[in-house]
Amino acid sequence: MGDQEYCFQCPLFTCVAGHRATWFTSGLILANVIVGAGLLNFPSAYHDAGGIYCAVVTQAVCIAVVTVGMFMMAYCADQCGLGTYQCVVGHFCGPKAYLLCNIAIVLHNWGTCITMLVIVADQIDSTVYFAYGADFCRHWFLRRSFTLSVITVLVIFPFSFPKRMETYKFVSFLGVLATGYIVFLTIMEYYRTNTSDVVLKYRPDTFMDIFKVIPAICFSFEAHVEVIPLYAEFRNRNLKELIKSISLAYFICLSVYTIVGIYGYLTFGERVSTDLLTSYTHMNIFLIIGMSFMVLKSVASYPVLFFCARLVLNCRRWAAYSFYEFRRRIVIIVTLVSISLAIALVVPNIGSIIAILGGTASLFIFVFPGASKIYYIPSIILP
């Protein structure tokens, strides 16, 4: 527990003039991270959970545990003075937990980035299908591989380079606004659609169905990895400011997820797909705008999620070679983004990825915060 052999790899909390993050801008960044790929999957999760009532109750319980875990990690970060999630875990739980946490962060955040690219590709395909018809793939410049590659190179690559998470406050604000339109669209389409033949669930088929959707809910509300480096950039760093930031983020996210989940499920019932927007068969200008906003939202979320995966690979063990930091950052970004693009082009839908990522999200929400707190208590009694 007291081993510090790995701490040279960990960025410390240091009060410098460059730290400009406020609780409000940090709340927007967190909201942009949390309301991500899980948003379009939420109506499907409501169906799998056994209907709206069971889903909302399960969601409320998960939210309570999620916020407790986030505050526990922030408190532990205050005590050890380290600036990333994995370093806090390593400080209290030891080198093996540190290594496991690093691997989990890379797999989870990188996997979420792949999910974002799949969402972008799906929305572009639907938009092009509406404009050019079913044979749009005959044109090479409209194919999924080309359109997604262009957006990745021209938009996602440049946004992946900033060294501070606070830099993403403006793009996060756009992401939150885009989410607001998705909420409006879901409500509007419910009232515009004839739902007389929609079949709804009012209870789960089996009790275990409730537990099947917990990974999807955990994935949707997980931001524990991002909150620690963001907390390190606070202008006025204390837990009171962080509580305000997290409260703002989760108020936005809980409202968005619940409204989209309820209205999306009421619109389609058992016919809802894992990507809500692909469930709409009657394309119109409002849906096209919604898909465009979802592309904007995904592009805005990708760099923030990628930031933490990049921190793992670009850690302080390379501090002696700081002259090559920019070159090293380019290599990491080009390599990881290129591989994520290649995988996104062959993944069939976001549901298959979310089912896997929900498991790693559970580690960040339940396992690592609990273990860090358990190891922290003896360190007080036996310093």
**Which CATH number is 243's domain given?**
1.10.4160.10
Average the pLDDT over each of 8-22, 143-157, 312-326 and give the range with the smallest value.
8-22
Mean pLDDT of 176-185: 92
Is the pLDDT assigned to residue 334 strictly greater than 70? yes
pLDDT confidence of residue 189: 92
Closest to 286 (Cα-Cα) out of 175, 179, 184: 184
36: pLDDT confidence band, cut at 50, 70 and 90? confident
Is the pLDDT assigned to residue 311 strictly greater than 50? yes
Mean pLDDT of 46-57: 90
Structural domain boundaries, residue 106 = 7-377
Confirm whether 197 is domain-assigned. Answer: yes
| φ, ψ (nearest 5 deg) of residue 21 | -70, 130
pLDDT confidence of residue 13: 46
Confirm whether 281 is domain-assigned. Answer: yes
Confirm whether 1 is domain-assigned. Answer: no
Confirm whether 152 is domain-assigned. Answer: yes
**Measured distance CA(213)–CA(355) in Å, rounded:** 9
Closest to 280 (Cα-Cα) out of 143, 130, 56, 128: 130
Token output for 195: 């739902």
**Measured distance CA(101)–CA(262) in Å, rounded:** 34
Contact 347, 114 (CB under 8 A): yes
Is the pLDDT assigned to residue 383 strictly greater than 70? no
Mean pLDDT of 129-149: 84
Confirm whether 2 is domain-assigned. Answer: no
Confirm whether 331 is domain-assigned. Answer: yes
- Measured N-to-C along each axis, helices 285-313 and 224-231 cross at an angle, to the nearest 10 degrees, of 70
- C-alpha torsion angle, residues 147, 151, 157, 162 (rounded to 10): -160
Most confident of 152-156, 232-236, 351-355: 152-156
Closest to 131 (Cα-Cα) out of 375, 360, 57, 123: 123
Cα-trace Rg, the chain: 21
Is the pLDDT assigned to residue 316 strictly greater than 70? no
Confirm whether 382 is domain-assigned. Answer: no
Mean pLDDT of 306-319: 72
Residue 220's alpha-carbon distances to 31, 60, 141, 258, 341, in angstroms, are: 11, 13, 33, 12, 22
Confirm whether 154 is domain-assigned. Answer: yes
pLDDT confidence of residue 184: 94
Mean pLDDT of 300-323: 72
pLDDT confidence of residue 346: 85
* Residues facing 82 on adjacent strands: 12
- The chain-wide mean pLDDT, for the chain, equals 83
327 Cβ contact partners less than 8 Å away, ≥ 6 residues apart = none
pLDDT confidence of residue 215: 79
Domains held by the chain: number: 1
State pTM to two decimals: 0.82
Contact 10, 243 (CB under 8 A): no
The one-letter amino acid at 375: Y
Condensed to tens digits (0 to 9), the pLDDT of residues 188-210 reads 999 998 888 888 988 888 888 88
Residue whose pair of structure tokens reads 């403006």 in the numeric block = 170
The region that residue 283 occupies, defined by phi over 0 for left and psi between -120 and 50 for alpha, beta otherwise, is beta
